[in-house]
Amino acid sequence: MEWYVGPPVEGVVLSAEGLLGFARHDRHALLNDLQVLGGWLQLGKTEAAIEYLTRLQSRLTRDPAWSLVDSPDLEAALLVARLTALGRGLELSVGVRGPDPASTAAVAAARDRGDWSHHGRFRETGRGDRQAALRSAAGVFFRVLLRIIADVAESGETAVSSLRAELVVYADRVELRVGAVGMERSGLLDLVKTARAVVGELGLSLVGERAGPSDVAAGVPWGSTLIGVGSGSEGALGREMSPAGAGTPGSGNGLLLVAVTGRP
């Protein structure tokens, strides 16, 4: 894990043209869904229509886990990245969770109290401090994802049809784990190189390696952006990843980005 520090990073900036493009995409997708439903009903396939409608409702229902994020900037970054991937012929699935059920409950309770201490090791931080850190995290995650989407789309690697991302929310940090289904290990390691390049372009400088978030954060002043870049198999953070097949965020072969949002 390499740690980079620098000034605040601008969050997601969406032009009017981009906003209209996403609105047109949603309208087109809805029309397609209505056509499928209409086709099943015309054929008298009521059960198939109900099954399709149930899947559609599930897709459109906001996952309650997103409440853990507590950041419009971060949620918007992942949404825009997903729609951008669709526009490039790729699927980007995004999951959100806490590190484990107990920690998830602790994060939610801390959010409700406005207390972002982490098991007593991190002091309370104001909501404004955390939101500013999450805004910078959103800016970094968003730009890394866009570069990865562009690289995969332009590579012509037909085995890769979808990207998977998992956002894990802790009291003191957020992690983004990215993998590509069907990509060889060499390609997955290229994701790490891509992230390092983007972080450098954003003006963040390397300050440490193979250290934990709290160790690095101790010497970083408030208002700075602190980002960790590594592969999914590195260190304690990698061991927390859920088991999964090769090429998935939990396989230990993909990209792991860490944005520190709390300080010791």
Q: What is the DSSP string of 160-176?
A: --EEEEEEEE-SSEEEE
Q: Is 31 inside a domain boundary?
A: no
Q: Is 20 inside a domain boundary?
A: no
Rg for the chain, CA atoms, rounded = 19
Q: Is 254 inside a domain boundary?
A: yes
Q: Is 194 inside a domain boundary?
A: yes
Which tokens sit at 181? 């289904």
Q: Is 29 inside a domain boundary?
A: no
Structural domain of 197: 2-13+64-260
3 state SS of 184: coil
Q: Is 210 inside a domain boundary?
A: yes
pLDDT one-digit tens code per residue, 132-168: 888 899 999 999 999 998 888 887 665 566 788 888 8
pTM: 0.74
Query: Given this model, what pLDDT does residue 240 score?
Result: 38
Rounded CA gap, 153 and 85, in Å? 8
- Give the Cβ contact number of residue 76 at 10 Å: 15
Rounded CA gap, 124 and 137, in Å? 19
Average pLDDT over residues 52-57: 86
The count of domains in the chain is 1
pLDDT one-digit tens code per residue, 195-252: 999 999 999 998 877 667 667 777 777 778 889 998 865 433 344 333 333 344 444 4
Q: Is 27 inside a domain boundary?
A: no
Q: Is 39 inside a domain boundary?
A: no
